Structures are given as structure tokens and as C-alpha cells.
Structure 1
């Protein structure tokens, strides 16, 4: 949730998103959590066997199993992408830094390639008079975006064109599944040992990223934009839907 929750706050009104989030947490998340916790403590069984207490609701158990299966598949893809970028970063120059790669388009524009333009000391030349230049729309994409879309994913032009299987991504996905298998191969005995790492290492990484983030230029402006509430957003149904989906 570290990579999803800040995005939801940014998209749904900044600090105002916390209001529907805590409403959903208090009235939906916490009661369901304690209900599931109590059922598990009482029956000491999985999501299928616990509903023998009320066979009418056994479909809930199957639903929980299906949801857990799909979430496991989905999050392994995220781990796969993390592995891919981890291996790709082991180069002297990051491949998503500049626009001189074979997959880049003429619309690619890197801040590192054009420092003078971003500082305003080199005005861009456009054909035509001033009024035409003011109405000129420039389509620019970052090298990181083009690396993701055109090289990593190799997105096809339309949904009818399936494209090709990306073997590097397939290999990283296989690695992620192997890691999960090794962590769970002996049940609680193996996963309990892995938890010592997975429960502490993320805090180390978050601390490093936090210190790096707050020391960047313009960090305070971004934090204020992130926290400043836009109260009109809480009247939108989409905001409440995002809060509920984040809780569940």
C-alpha cells in the first residue's frame, strides 16, 4: 500500500481523502477485520472450513479464496516489475535516463539532455508568428515513460494486436514465483523466518527514501500540495469508492 495510498491521496483531494478513508476504516475495515480474526481464532480453520458454522454463507469462503488467488497473481506481477528494474539498473548509465536509445521517439525530451530549455535561457524556435507559436501544442514524453511503454512492455497499437511475449519479464515473473514458493515451502516455519526480514527491511528503505525525498528541491511544495485538503472532492462518489477499495 506504500505505493498506492499516496497516489490515491493525490488523486482524491489530498488531505481531504483521509476523511472518507477513516470513515470506511471505522465502519467497514475494523469490524470485518475483527470478525475474520474471531472466526479464525474460534474455528482454527481456513476460509473454507470456517463457514461450516453457517453453511448458508459458505460462498463467502469461496469468494475469499478467489480474491486471495487473484491478488497473489496481481502482486507477483508487481514484484516481477521490481525485479526487472533492479536488474536493469545494474548499468553505468540507467537506460531510462536519456532519449538517445533505439526505442525513443522524436517526442522524447529529457531534462538532462536539455538543461538550458528547462532553465528558460534557450527559448524554443517555432515556425510562424507569435500568435501561432502561442497556440502550438508540443507533445513531450519523458525517457522513463517511453522506456516503460515502448521497451519494457512493448505496448501494441490496439487491443486486437497481442504483440509478443516479453521473455525478460517472463523470466522475472518466474523468479518472483520461485521466491514466493521458497518462502512458503514449509508453511509457518519458513514464512515465520522470512517475516523477520520483510517486516523490518521496508522501514529501512522507507527511511532512506523519506530522507532523500525531503532534501530534494521543491520537496516542501510537493508535501503541501499532497496534504492541502480539497473538500469539494469528498462529494464525488469515486473518492468514496477508492477509499473503500483501499480498505478492502
Structure 2
């Protein structure tokens, strides 16, 4: 054996799962990678990054792709594709840091506990879209708005009809609710929903039923698709449908502005000040290209064939995600401008008053009132909310697939009980997600999403340390060139070692500050949940380091060196493994790769 085995360190060797399968089509990795852009729990950052910036966000976005996003995509894809294992077992590349994989496991489970609300809310609106009259339209609002509270509530329909407060000679401040936002608040019988001073505990039984239905759909997908080939095919069709619905929605929203030419101009040709502002927002938001949780790209790439071109695929995925982000941003941009036009018209007719429109969760809630004013509103609501439901189901399925496959790769005993463990995990996640059906938990994803961005950034920073410094630049370049059978320039390696980590350090400080600000308005339950899923898992990294060194023989220096060396690090397929051993025996790896004859290369 020319690579180091776990036997040498007194541990059981890694046993690859040869039955885990591959994607049915090589393009499935690209489509699932693009669908990582469906992660919409960071909508507040999306709003800042692309709504006000418009296409000004494209330039800093592409710069971020060059500096650290695509390099990270390539690195994570390399780890998964080379080792054919998930985000836990792939840290055989440096076993001392395997605790990072267990942190990722906790983060992914934490994300899945709240993400169902992003499917339950649009599912609720979808069901009500089947009613003859939309309850959040001005006509449908008359049936229930009068009974919302003892005090009258000003809403958008008052502005549309120019229904103001009694005449007065002094200025006053008037808060107007958006009917589609007000509709969700009434589901909780709580008009202070989403407010920091919200007290009490209320459960929406409609959201509760929609949450159960969401997890039932997820269970059905994993029950019917027990192989990666079937699951990849189902995900591919779901992604096609979602992208088609997104395109239809964008086209329909482009017809909303009264001055379409000016709206398109403002979105695609922003001013210089907006361009400068967009740099700080986009650099933080761009980390969401890796999907919910962490390690998803590693797990998805592990289903690739050994020779799959990860560099080209990474660029295709990242550019495809950019168009998805811009599509959602355009919808929010039009929605925001729609309300601004109503406010301006209202202020012109009522110069002594100052109106304020309470826009909340714009992509999910406020868009409903825009859809209600379209012709055939029920049809467009069905299309729009179905699209949002599919984005959540796809994101949850991919995150769950990544998490479960990583567990099966690392724990050999669970491979014979995949079905049982899958439904146990889904059942526990469904129970934990019930908190999001309350007024205290429905907005949980805002705080947790920022926490996960901090964790993702920190883990990506550690990944650079593990792969390019502990495993080593030379060995990483050697393995990558062997796997792809193409040259990987030293310039790219030096960017990975120095430029990309510096960018991530700056971004880590910014994301930590944002997360800290959001936690100031969170409830004590949110703080405890963040402590369990975000903070405490970090103790596992030094804890696992101590544990694995105690399991190794020799002096402390010898133990440390052994734990930093790759263990059982080789391609899983026998043919690729034999070729790797032959290449490793040659001291000049570059010469070996260039001199491989046609028969050996195939």
C-alpha cells in the first residue's frame, strides 16, 4: 500500500459503500447545484443585495465568483468526487479535522427544523388561492377585516380608494398594512406578528396542517426514490418545472409597472451610488450559493463519476444561480416599486399626512397583494405559490439527501437500515419544526439563516486550511490533475491559498456582526436553539482532535503528524484506485500524468 491506512493508526479502516450509486445523468449534478439558489431563507439579504442594487449586483457577484466562490465550489466538489463520500467521511483527507463534518451535521439538522415554514406558508396561500375570491384582495378583505380587531386597521385598500382619516389641519403618521401580510397575521390571531415586542404564544392550526403536509410530501419522495438515480431524476424534473414557473412569473411581473421601460431601466442600469452599495451586500449574500447548511456540494459531487469536469460544472452552476437570484430579485423589485407608486399617489392627494406601508417578508407575503390586482388573480397566485412550494421542497430534499448520505457513508452499521433511519430522522425533524407554527417561531428562519451564514463562512475558511495547508498544495494539485487529467495552474493554487481566505475572513466579521444584531430581537427559545445547533457543535472540533489523538499510538508529536496525514484517501472504484497507486509510485507526479498512455488512462 502506498497510501496510509487506518490500520497504521490503530483504527478501523474506511469501508466505501459501493452500492450508493451515481447520478442517472451527468447533468443532474449541474441542475441540483443550480437549485441550491432556491435557498430563500435569506430573503432579507436578497432584498438588500439585488433588489435595490438591481443588475449592479452582477459585477460584484462575478468578482466574488472569481475570488472565492468558484474556488470553493471546485474544492468541495473535489473532496466529494475524489472520495465518493459525504461531508463527514471526506475528511479522511485530514482525520484530525473530521469534527468539522459533525458540526455540519448539526447545522444541517438545525436548518431542516425551521425550513418547512418556507413551504408551509406558500402552501397555505395556495389553498386559499383556490377560493372564488382571494381573501387578501380588496373585495375579499371586506368579509373578515372588520372583525380583526376592535380598532380599525388601515390597509392598502384604503390607499387605493383614497380612504383617509378625518380632515385635519396638522400632519399625521398613518401606518398601512398590506392585505396579504394582514391575512397571515389573522391566521395567528395576532396583529403584532413579526414585531420585536410580540408577547404571548399563538399557534396557527392552518400552518400546522401545512407543515405536516410538507413533511408528508418529503417522506413520500424518499420512500418512492430509494436510489440516487431515481431521486436525481425526480429532482431534475422538479427543478425544470420550478424554473419554468419562475420564468412565467418573471414575465408576468414585468407587465405590472405602469412605466415598464423606466422600471426595466432602473433595474438593469442602476446609478453609480447603488453600484458601490451593492459590493458590501452581495459579498455577504453570495455565500448562499452553497445551499442550506454546509457540505451539500461535497455530498452532491460524491455522486459524480470520477472524471467529471468539476471546474466547468462549477462555473456553469454559479452563473446559473446568478440568473435565478436575479429573477427573484426582479419580482421583489417590481413588488417594492408597486407599493412605492401607490404611496406616492396617496401622498400627492393627502399632503398633510405621511403614509407608511408595512412591507414584510416581501417575496412570500407582500407579493400576494400585487398578484391580487392582476387579471385572473387566482391563476397567477396558484402559479406563484406553487413555484415557492417547489423551491422549498427541492431545497429540503437536497439538504436531507446530503445529511443522510453523509451519515450512511461514515457509519457502516446504518447502511443496512437506510429506510428506517431515513423516516426516523424525518419524523424527528417534523416534530421539531412544530415550533415554527407559532407566532414566536414563524420568523425563526431570519435569525437562524444569518447564524448558518456565519457557520458556513467559518467552515469554508477551515476547509482552505485543511486542504491547502494540512493536506498540502502539492498533493491537492496532484490529485486534482490526476482526477481531471488536465493541468491545474499554480496561479489558481496561490489564489486558493492566500486571496480566497482573506476574502472569507472579512466576510466572516461582517456576517458575525449581522447575526449578533438579529439575536438582540430574538426570543429566549431562539437563543437556546442557536446555542444547541450553532455554538455548541464547535466544541466538537477540539474535542474530536483530542479523541482521535488518544486513539493513535506513539509520542504526541507522532500522533499529531499521523492524524494530519490522509487516511484511506483513494478513489473508491477499483480501476481508478489501481491507476492512482501506479501514479503515486512515481516521484514526479506531473511527468507521470503526462506520460500515461491511452490504455492506462482509460
Q: Could you list the per-position Cα deviations for residues 145-200 of structure 1 after superposition, in whole angstroms to 9, with x for gaps in the alignment?
A: 21123335832876573422222111111111121122223141441231242121
Picking from 72, 75, 82, the partner of 1:42 is: 82
Higher helix share: 2
Aligned mates of 1:75, 1:9 — CA distance in 2: 22
Give the secondary structure class of the aligned counterpart of 2:176: coil
Aligned to 1:163: 201
Picking from 45, 53, 72, the partner of 2:112 is: 72
How big is the alpha-carbon RMSD for the aligned residues of Structure 1 and Structure 2? Answer: 3.0
Aligned mates of 1:207, 1:236 — CA distance in 2: 24
Aligned to 1:17: 57
Larger-Rg structure: 2
Are the counterparts in 1 of residues 154 and 177 from structure 2 also a CA contact under 8 Å? yes
Give the secondary structure class of the aligned counterpart of 1:71: helix
- Return the TM-score normalized by structure 2: 0.36
Aligned mates of 1:210, 1:160 — CA distance in 2: 35
Higher mean Cα deviation, 204-213 or 167-176?
204-213
Q: Does residue 291 of structure 2 align to residue 245 of structure 1?
A: no
Distance 1:187 1:84, change over 3 A: farther
Aligned mates of 2:211, 2:165 — CA distance in 1: 46
Q: Does residue 153 of structure 2 align to residue 107 of structure 1?
A: yes
Distance 1:217 1:128, change over 3 A: closer
Q: Does residue 180 of structure 2 align to residue 144 of structure 1?
A: yes
Q: Does residue 235 of structure 2 align to residue 181 of structure 1?
A: no
Give the secondary structure class of the aligned counterpart of 1:140: strand
Are the counterparts in 2 of residues 184 and 190 from structure 1 also a CA contact under 8 Å? no
Are the counterparts in 1 of residues 55 and 269 from structure 2 also a CA contact under 8 Å? yes
Picking from 45, 67, 71, the partner of 1:31 is: 71
Higher mean Cα deviation, 165-174 or 208-217?
208-217
Shift of 1:96: 1.1
Aligned to 2:256: 216
- Return the TM-score normalized by structure 1: 0.80
Mind listing any 5+ residue stretches in structure 1 that lack a counterpart?
Answer: 118-122
Are the counterparts in 2 of residues 109 and 140 from structure 1 also a CA contact under 8 Å? yes
Aligned mates of 2:185, 2:283 — CA distance in 1: 28
Distance 1:58 1:231, change over 3 A: farther
Give the secondary structure class of the aligned counterpart of 2:174: coil
Distance 1:242 1:19, change over 3 A: same
Give the secondary structure class of the aligned counterpart of 2:217: helix
Distance 1:142 1:36, change over 3 A: same
Are the counterparts in 2 of residues 24 and 247 from structure 1 also a CA contact under 8 Å? no
Aligned residues between the structures: 237
